């Protein structure tokens, strides 16, 4: 039976994606549409997905119980109340509403990080416990980034250069920290699972080396940007890039062992490839005479990372994970997967071509990728329509797959899925064997 929190968050993520697409489609008719669309994607959709699924993965990896349904639902509602307050406060020019929403989101994320850290301390002998620290570090980056956002919205900067420097630090902490660290920490176990293969190496070594480099490099970068010290910021970005390279070694080796072959795997691979924009960020900063000059140079880079990296990784992960929650057994898993993967090749090609044109094309701004966001949100929408599928005679909404009538079983009998491709219930997905193919 689907957990209430999964249904709620799935609907919220899809809603934020659709709202981001509609905002960009309206163009100049929405005041501050670019800012609003990016924050609907990153603060709305991505934050909900990270908070819920990081708890899901952490509970499986650490072998600790998950939060109760009431607590998880209350947390999700509080988080989204804060997100909506932030979006409405900035859009309507009400700093008090924005600040209240930011503090509410920060409180939820802080409690989430504290829960994860406590779980790590209790998980003696858990082999992959170290990867959960990525989520804790990502939470710390979000808290710092939101703090800077509150100062920006409140007009606390003393000069135009200070404002631009603070905005650069805000962007780096939220994109490279909150989203980037969370994705990198997840890919150690999710990537081989999506490819239906085993890990090629122990991720503890890669995680142990990469996390200090990435987290430390990000902290140095933010400090250098705030102090307007170009050499310090470049050194920090170089450290972050080095840590990212170490973390992606298992990713590349796993892909060489079994190449991407599904919609989810190709979207994840393309999204991680766009994260190489960190190198472009480093080059742009190194080529700037002053730190604040980077603010104009990354006008295209931030949307590319948000759409090419953030949106594709989110879409690929949900394409793989949604059948676990909504599938109702092996038959439903295969059917929903087929719906989500319909026409994925031209969709993925169009999305990545659009991001490439956004970065290298002659025109700036975010007008062109509006179709990308709409297409991505619409690509996930069939899962909502599929929920109300036709039931077989004698089958209720709670009938397990093994108890379906013969005609239902016959319709899904061939071909039989491999044992790695079958997830019979969301409860089974919370076990370590459903997350990590090493089990």
pLDDT at 124: 67
**Among 115, 46, 50, 106, which residue's Cα sits nearest to residue 82?**
106
Query: Cβ distance 323 to 423 under 8 Å?
Result: yes
Q: Rounded to the nearest 10 degrees, what angle do helices 182-194 and 133-153 cross at?
A: 140
Q: Which CATH class is domain 4-387?
A: mainly alpha
Ranges of the chain with pLDDT below 70: 1-5, 27, 124-126, 201, 325, 327-329, 361-439
State how far the alpha carbon of 24 is from the alpha carbons of 100, 371, 394, in Å: 26, 8, 46
Q: What is the model's pLDDT at position 196?
A: 87
pLDDT digits (tens, 9 = 90+) for 336-376: 777 777 777 877 777 777 777 777 765 544 444 444 544 44
pLDDT for 96 equals 87
Distance between CA atoms of residues 92 and 36, nearest Å: 11
Query: Distance of CA 115 to CAs 157, 178, 352, 431, Å?
Result: 34, 17, 37, 19
| Structure confidence by residue, pLDDT tens digits, 274-300 | 887 777 888 888 888 888 888 877 777
In sequence order, the 6+-apart residues with CB closer than 8 A to the CB of 308 are 270, 271, 274, 277, 351, 352, 355
> Helices (H) and strands (E) in the chain — how many of each?
22, 0
Domain locations in the chain as residue ranges: 4-387
Q: What is the pLDDT of residue 50?
A: 93
Quick one: pLDDT at residue 328?
A: 67
Nearest Cα neighbor of 186 from 116, 261, 118 is 116
CA gap 13, 39 in Å, rounded: 13
Helix (H) or strand (E) holding 233: helix 230-257
DSSP letters of 155-218? T--SSHHHHHHHHHHHHHIIIIIIIIIHHHHHHHHHHHHHTTS--SS-HHHHHHHHHHHHHHHH
Per-residue pLDDT, 171: 92
- pLDDT for the residue numbered 141: 96
């Amino acid at each position: 039976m689907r957990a209430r929190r999964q249904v709620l968050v799935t609907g919220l993520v899809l809603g934020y994606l659709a709202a981001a697409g509609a905002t960009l489609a309206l163009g100049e008719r929405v005041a501050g549409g670019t800012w609003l669309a990016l924050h609907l994607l990153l603060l709305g959709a991505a934050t909900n997905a990270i908070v819920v699924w990081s708890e899901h993965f952490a509970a499986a990896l650490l072998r600790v119980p998950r939060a109760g349904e009431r607590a998880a639902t209350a947390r999700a509602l509080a988080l989204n109340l804060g997100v909506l307050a932030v979006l409405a406060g900035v859009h309507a020019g009400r700093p008090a509403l924005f600040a209240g929403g930011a503090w509410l989101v920060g409180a939820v994320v802080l409690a989430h990080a504290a829960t994860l850290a406590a779980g790590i301390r209790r998980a003696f002998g858990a082999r992959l416990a170290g990867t959960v620290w990525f989520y804790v570090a990502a939470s710390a980056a979000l808290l710092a980034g939101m703090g800077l956002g509150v100062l920006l919205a409140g007009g606390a900067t003393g000069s135009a250069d200070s404002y631009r420097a603070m905005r650069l630090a805000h962007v780096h902490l939220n994109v490279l920290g909150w989203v980037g660290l969370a994705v990198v920490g997840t890919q150690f176990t999710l990537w081989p699972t999506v490819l239906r293969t085993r890990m090629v190496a122990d991720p503890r070594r890669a995680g142990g080396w990469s996390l200090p480099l990435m987290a430390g490099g990000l902290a140095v970068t933010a400090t250098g940007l705030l102090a307007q010290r170009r050499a310090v910021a470049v050194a920090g970005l170089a450290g972050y890039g080095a840590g990212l390279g170490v973390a992606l070694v298992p990713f590349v080796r796993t892909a060489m062992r079994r190449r991407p072959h599904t919609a989810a795997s190709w979207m994840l691979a393309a999204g991680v490839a766009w994260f190489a924009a960190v190198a472009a960020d480093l080059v742009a900063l190194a080529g700037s005479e002053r730190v604040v000059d980077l603010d104009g140079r990354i006008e295209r880079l931030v949307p590319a990372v948000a759409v090419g990296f953030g949106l594709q990784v989110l879409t690929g992960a949900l394409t793989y994970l949604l059948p676990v929650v909504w599938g109702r057994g092996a038959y439903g898993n295969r059917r929903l997967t087929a719906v989500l993967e319909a026409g994925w090749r031209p969709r993925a090609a169009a999305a990545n071509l659009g991001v490439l044109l956004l970065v290298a094309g002659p025109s700036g701004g975010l007008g062109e990728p509006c179709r990308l966001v709409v297409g991505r949100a619409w690509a996930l929408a069939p899962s909502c329509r599929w929920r109300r599928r036709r039931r077989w005679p004698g089958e209720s909404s709670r009938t397990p797959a093994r108890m379906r009538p013969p005609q239902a079983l016959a319709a899904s009998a061939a071909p039989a899925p491999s044992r790695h491709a079958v997830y019979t219930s969301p409860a089974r997905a919370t076990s370590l064997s459903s997350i990590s193919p090493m089990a």
